[in-house]
Structure 1
Amino acid sequence: MSEETDAITRIVPDRRRPDRLLIERNGLPWLRLSALRISELDVRTGEVLTPERRARLEHAAAVEEAIEAALRLLAARPRSEAELARRLRQKGFRDAVVQEVMTKLRALGYVDDRAFVAFWVAQRRTSRPRGIAALRQELRAKGITDELIEAAVTHDAEEEFSAALALAQKHLGRLQQHDRVTQERRVIGLLQRRGFSWSVIRRVVREVFSGKAGDDDFPLAD
């Protein structure tokens, strides 16, 4: 079909999406846009489409779809900017669409790396304790800058020890059928996987086992 006959033929309610209108192009379903966006873009039945106009409308539809996808992801849990952008790209949205969506969400306060770091640190401390090194590594993997990480994740040896001790004591209840050496090894392995330092692990083992594990019989060496 020639560009001269490339036109919007109908704008009708979308049966599958009550919050969207279906735009038909040359008699076939083409795009879905909100009524507000259609009004803002002045989309009209009978409009002849240039390649530039067609690309603009397709971009607008993709942005609306990506915003919905982003909000669904954020409804599950807070996410860092880099993490959210990565997930949108994985869903097939183009970089230009992702960048516009991130700008909109940032302006609305839906994404905020500083707030995300505070959430993540609090969540880890209360439900899934981590050593400082592991916590920092997790945040870096989510695209958080070193500056924000250093501001939020400060090293407190006693706090890290308390978190590791509570985790070990909770885990120990599942190990009562094992001998002491096996219990120690299991506790050490758990704390090591959670990123606690060896100095913290040594203190925890001595505390948990009431001083029965001395330096000479500590299961694993530094």
Structure 2
Amino acid sequence: MHFRFILNFQYNYIMDELNQKIYDKAVKLLSVRLHTTGELHRKLRTRSFRDAEILPVLRRLEELRFLDDERFAQIFVDNLKRYKDFGFFGIKAKLLSRQIPTEMAERALEEFLTPEDEKKIAERLLKKLKRQGRSTYEQLARSFQSRGFRGEVTQKILNSNPEWRNKF
């Protein structure tokens, strides 16, 4: 009985030590920038930790609200909306590349990226593209499409210029 207790204690101590090592690495990664659960899981896996060791640590970080994919998605959408020139589908692709679940990404987009917001981003991009010398309808339409703008937004922006009206 006593021997089994000692082995069990040593096993728990080793597991706690390993969990602490994973936890410390995860917190260090989170101190640099926010991560999604999927990103952090992937990074910890590349450091040779196993899923069985990683998952309890991720759950604990979620309990402590150090990891919160929903909050990450909201902040990420808001930052892209303010500082970058991506449309609805471009932002959605970026969220998915950060391993945000599709339903969560769509909720964040519905809540934090209105069609009016997307139109303002498109207007900002149009000015930038014109300064860069892109002035034909086709060049501009391709630029909007490659940045993930919805077709109706591209159409509204490009048709607001009389020279291109009704080409799209």
Q: Structure 2 matches for 1:34-45, cutoff 5 A?
A: none
Consecutive unaligned residues of structure 2, counting only runs of 5 or more, are 1-5
Structure-2 residue corresponding to 1:132: 88
1:101 is the counterpart of 2:64: no
Consecutive unaligned residues of structure 1, counting only runs of 5 or more, are 1-48
Structure-2 residue corresponding to 1:144: 100
Q: Structure 2 matches for 1:8-87, cutoff 5 A?
A: 50=7, 55-87=11-43
AA partner of residue 157 (structure 1): P
Equivalent of 2:119, from 133, 152, 161? 161
Q: Number of matched residues?
A: 161
CA positional deviation for 1:119: 0.7
Normalising by structure 1, report the TM-score.
0.62
Q: Structure 2 matches for 1:163-182, cutoff 5 A?
A: 163-175=121-133, 180-181=135-136
Task: State percent identity of aligned pairs.
Answer: 22
More strand by share: 1
In 2, distance between residues paired with 1:190 and 1:75? 35
Structure-1 residue corresponding to 2:75: 119
CA positional deviation for 1:171: 2.9
Q: Which structure's CA Rg is the greater one?
A: 1
Please give the secondary structure, in 1, of the residue aligned with 2:164.
Answer: coil
In 1, distance between residues paired with 2:143 and 2:69? 29
In 1, distance between residues paired with 2:158 and 2:60? 50
Which structure ranks higher in relative contact order (CA pairs < 8 Å, sequence separation ≥ 6)? 2
Residues 103-135 of structure 1 show CA distances to partners (whole Å, capped at 9, x for unaligned) of 221121101122111111111101123222232
More helix by share: 2
